[in-house]
Chain A
Amino acid sequence: MAETSVENSITPDHKGNVVSRFVWTYVFATDHKVIGLQFLFSSLIWFFVGGFLALAVRWQLAWPWSDMPIFGHMLFAESGGQMSPGFYNMLFTMHATIMIFFVIIPILAGAFGNYLIPLMVGAEDMAFPRLNMLSYWFMWPAFACIILSFFMPEYGASAGWTSYPPLSVFQGDAQSLWLLAMVFVGVSSMMGSINYLTTIIQMRAPGMTMFRMPMTVWGMFITAIMQAFALPVLTAALLMQLSDRLLMTGFFLPENIAVNNGVATSGGGQVLLWQHLFWFYSHPAVYIMILPAMGMVSDIISCFSRKPLFGYRPMVYSITAIAGLGFIVWGHHMFISGMNHTLAMSFMVSTMLIALPSGIKVFNWIGTLWGGKLQLTTPMLFCVGFVAMFVIGGLSGIVMSAPPVDIVIHDTYYIVAHLHYVLFASSVLGVLGAIYFWFPKMFGRMMNERLGKIHFFLTFVFLNGTFFPMHFLSRMPRRVADPYIYEGLKDLLPLNQFMTICAIGMGLTQLIFVANFFGSMFFGAKAGRNPWNANTLEWTTVSPPPHGNFDVQPVVRRGPYEYSHPETDSDFFPQTKTS
């Protein structure tokens, strides 16, 4: 351990040429900050890949069967640039897969979890730096599988991100690659979550009791617990589906279904079993995709309201409750699957219950904003946007949680509206806010405020333009390449064109972010240790923090949200400050 840690630390006295130094610093990195940035950069790259796929989906929905700009002629020259329905299936499948497994989960848990947890609890690094390194490395086989799958005859997995059998078992080899990739992502997340849990439980600085931890750390903590319990189940299910495809066992298929050149599967499996196992992971996964964002948003909102977080403990309890309830609601994705009715009813009740802790959180964010000295910086704008958008997404969730309603709107654009309000309009806005907020800590320079605000306003407008109209499309089925073959849906074409134009606008807006990100990395104003006058521990050290994180032993004396505290003159009261 000791040798490698010394090797990969960014020490100036390191001997060796530039290449070996680069390799040791960035490839064999065991420093949590470097690994965090590795996750950040790979996720951002995938974010743009996933975005392109989404735009292609939108293109087809707005101008069906027309020549896609640039790519149409590259891929489909013989058919005059017109994509095939199968290609459309690939587009939405890979879009969801990449956004969920390669962007949001790695950027929240991988990037921010890695970067912030040790800094915020006052640790020099993660509990197991080499395990941490492995957890990033395990993303690469997954990346490789997915990239490879794009070059398969069917251009990639196309059974939807939910990969329901029997459909998924009739797919080509890309589907096997997809399953393998998900196994690797799972192993990576599992290693990460064990590491986070150990770090948070055992490596908090003196005085950092559990209830003095910032909400970000709480979010990561609960997320890690959820991952630890939910992921193994998905891994098992993925391996079983892989064996159904490759060995033709029959875990998820009725007997004697001909797969693979007419060879029948053996044994009688159960289709619903896959759905249960899949959603046992994937519903908790949607909270894995938002709890860390909720934590970071809580920190940012409190900081820029210059006010303690309203109801810190209820916030903690409510994310714990969300996590607990999150494990017993998965059946709401299966209401029309033919599942047991009594079971469906209990899933309905628990789903409705989950709105309660979610509501508490929204209430507390508003309570924090209420009467605060609001500083509308870019990160704050994104976070306020998060709260507003989460209300919309949460409300549509409750609408769908009643089976009678869901039976009608399941698999329509209403669902797409819901999931994009919670995932894009909430999680991604939260992530962007967090990037603006912690960028100074990561790179030692501020991001450009003016560009940031433009970025926010355009994103906000375009995202609502793209996703809000979907609420009215509860009669338009999702995952259909050309809905307009139905007479009754023909009138939806103009609306879809409007949404696509907004989506393109939203895509272009992100270029402002790219410019701001890289520009600020090199030319941004130098940030000090604590540019936002925030309380938490990471702001007490240098920006960017050195290897080992802290130059003085942090000793925590109070909670993280003591803004505008009566005992001090300044409006913030760092956790370590002696009064």
Chain B
Amino acid sequence: MNSKANPSNETDATNGGLDGGSHGHIELKYQPAVPVPKGKLAVWLFLSTEIMFFTALIGTYIVLRFGAPEGSWPTPGDVRVLEWLGAVNTFVLICSSVTIVFGMEAAKQNKAGKAKSWLFGTFVLGCVFLGIKAYEYNSKFEHGIHPGTPRSLLYDRADLNYLSAVKSNLDAEILSLEKEKTALVSESVVPHDHDVLDTLVLIRAGLVQWTQRTVGEAENPMMRELALESLAHQINPRTSNPRVEAYLASENADVKNQIAELMGQQETVEQDVREMQERIDVLSEQLKAEQDDARKPDIESELSAATEASKTAATKATELVDLLTPLENRVSAYEQFNGLHEGLNEHFHLKLPMVIPSGNTWANTYFLMTGFHALHVLGGLVAFMVLLMLRLDRSRAGLMENVGLYWHFVDIVWIFLFPLLYLF
């Protein structure tokens, strides 16, 4: 508001000292209905519109939050919210409200220097608030919590959509790491520490492809769901999930049994292969040693039968290996990853898609409300900067008050946002 540009008008009782009197025309008298300066009235009116603006945002939050599936709203831990940090920010804003009030009091008593230091204090506190906000935003971005797709890594439920997201995410990541590796090799630098690549490859083989197979083969929809759920759980466990853990454990035992069985088969097959080989050896010896031409065809046919059988056995053996590899991958993945109670993402600093029911709705509303609040804080800081360039004596007390009113409003909005977003 341009309310106090002309201090010489201060004594003008009728128009509240606003907008510099007459210039070339007669000065008009007014009968104001409200005993406050125009600027202050306008600020209050502006604040009424602001109330409606934030009401719309909070209303949206309420509708989306209470429309969210029962019990699905993310906990602070899910979405990396630190409650105490919000409380600190509340405290910072309260302090800044106090400092600006004292600044205004000082200006009223015509103590320009003091007013300026109080105002500067408010400015600094506002900056601290935004700094903490920036830190909070950053910690969410780092965990893949963004407003809106495709940057957001959150999924509402573990379904095929989620599985394919994990898969393509993983594929792309492995591809880029491999490229990096070959680049390093071609530059004849010894690639160091490619544990990450190995881990990712194991995740792909032992978790994602396995889940994909299970989902494709399982007849029972419940099993499909469990398989998907367990994948999500291993990537980002929200709470301990006994159902999934039991499923994983029993599946692991199952897989181990299968492996044992297959190993047994493998042994017999290998035995077969060995026997056949021996027989082939014996037969070919025989064939070489045989003088009687009439008996040769018999041995030859026997030999070819043996070769045939040996080939079958060898195929069987490779088939068994093919069957065994995924199972073994699964077991080693289980052994390597199951103990990690903070999940793959956290443990290996990965960015695989996560399942947090209503997580995106949470992120959308969180960033919406805190974002517009932060913009308002920023606006206040700009106003402070302008004020700091002026001499804050008594003639500017009204201006200080107007800016202060706005600042207190920003504080009040935060007073409501804090419990809604951090504590509910």
Contact = CB atoms under 8 A, between A and B. Distances in A.
Q: Within 8 Å by CB, do A and B touch in the complex?
A: yes
Interface of A: 1-2, 5-6, 9, 11, 122-125, 127-131, 190, 194-195, 197-198, 201-210, 228-233, 235-237, 240, 243, 247-251, 255-256, 263-270, 273, 277, 280, 546-554
Contact of A243 (B147, B154, B360): B147
B265 interface: no
Given A202-B16, A236-B56, A546 B25 contact: yes
A266 B49 contact: no
B64 A268 contact: yes
Interface stretch (B27-35, B224-232, B342-350): B27-35
B24 A11 contact: yes
B148 A130 contact: no
A109 to B, nearest CB: 15
Given A1-B6, A9-B24, A233-B52, 11 more contacts: A127-B19, A129-B19, A203-B15, A203-B32, A228-B49, A255-B360, A264-B161, A267-B359, A270-B63, A277-B60, A548-B22
A202 B149 contact: no
B378 to A, nearest CB: 16
Chain A at the B interface: SS class: loop
A550 B42 contact: no
A553 to B, nearest CB: 6
A248 B149 contact: yes
Given A205-B28, A546-B25, A229 B52 contact: yes
Contacts of B20: 1-2, 5
Interface stretch (B80-88, B272-280, B361-369): B361-369
Of listed A11, A129, A266, A551, residue having the most chain B CB within 10 A = A266
Given A197-B45, A273-B60, A243 B148 contact: yes
Interface in B114-157: 147-150, 152, 154, 156
B23 A247 contact: no
5 contacts: A124-B28, A235-B53, A266-B149, A266-B363, A267-B362
Contacts of A195: 42
Contact of A202 (B34, B60, B363): B34
Nearest to A258: B149
A179 to B, nearest CB: 15
B68 interface: yes
A548 B360 contact: no
A124 to B, nearest CB: 5
B48 interface: yes
Given A1-B6, A232-B52, A255-B360, A127 B64 contact: no
B45 A194 contact: yes
B1 interface: yes
B91 interface: no
Contact of B53 (A232, A267, A550): A232
A554 B26 CA distance: 11
B172 interface: no
Contacts of A203: 15, 30, 32, 38
B64 A201 contact: no
Contacts of A269: 64, 361, 364
A265 B64 CA distance: 15
A2 B5 contact: yes
Contact of B49 (A2, A130, A231): A231
Contact of B23 (A9, A229, A264, A280): A9
Contacts of B188: none
A497 B150 CA distance: 50
A263 B146 CA distance: 15
A268 B358 contact: yes
Given A197-B45, A232-B49, A268-B361, A251 B60 contact: yes
B257 interface: no
B2 A206 contact: no
Listed from nearest, the 9 A-B pairs whose CB atoms lie closest are A548-B25, A267-B360, A247-B148, A236-B56, A266-B360, A232-B53, A267-B361, A2-B20, A232-B52
B338 interface: no
A1 to B, nearest CB: 4
Contact of B19 (A128, A204, A546): A128
A1 B1 contact: no
Contacts, number: 198
A232 to B, nearest CB: 4
B149 A263 contact: yes
Nearest to A548: B25
Given A263-B150, A269-B64, A250 B24 contact: no
A125 B15 CA distance: 12
Contacts of B64: 251, 267-270, 273
Given A248-B150, A266-B152, A270-B63, A547 B360 contact: no
B221 interface: no
A250 B29 contact: no
Nearest to B67: A270
Given A201-B41, A229-B49, A206 B29 contact: yes
Contacts of B63: 270, 273
A550 B148 contact: no
A58 B152 CA distance: 46
B201 interface: no
Contacts of A207: 31
A190 B53 CA distance: 12
Contact of A128 (B1, B67, B359): B1
B26 A201 contact: no
Contacts of A240: 60, 368
A1 B19 CA distance: 6
B55 interface: yes
Contacts of A265: 148-149
B30 A205 contact: yes
B50 interface: yes
B38 A249 contact: no
A264 B56 contact: no
A265 B11 CA distance: 59
Contacts of B156: 255, 267-268
A10 to B, nearest CB: 10
Contacts of A251: 60, 64, 364, 368
A32 B25 CA distance: 15
A273 B30 CA distance: 45
Contact of A201 (B19, B34, B50, B52): B34
Contacts of B33: 201-202, 204, 210
Contact of B148 (A230, A249, A547): A249
Interface in B40-94: 41-42, 45-46, 48-50, 52-53, 55-57, 59-60, 63-64, 67-68
Contact of B147 (A209, A247, A547): A247
Given A1-B2, A266-B149, A127 B42 contact: yes
B299 interface: no
A233 B5 CA distance: 32
Interface string B144-187: 00011110101010000100000000000000000000000000
Interface in B320-376: 358-364, 368
Nearest to A203: B30
A2 B23 contact: yes
B381 interface: no
A552 B26 contact: yes
Contacts of B149: 248, 263-266
Contacts of A263: 149-150
B53 A206 contact: no
B197 interface: no
Of listed A203, A228, A248, residue having the most chain B CB within 10 A = A203
A349 B41 CA distance: 36
B18 interface: yes
Contacts of B19: 1, 5, 125, 127-129
Contacts of A228: 45, 48-49, 52
Contacts of A230: 52
Interface in B275-295: none
B148 A248 contact: yes
B2 A237 contact: no
A26 B2 CA distance: 21
Contacts of B28: 122-124, 205, 548-550, 553-554
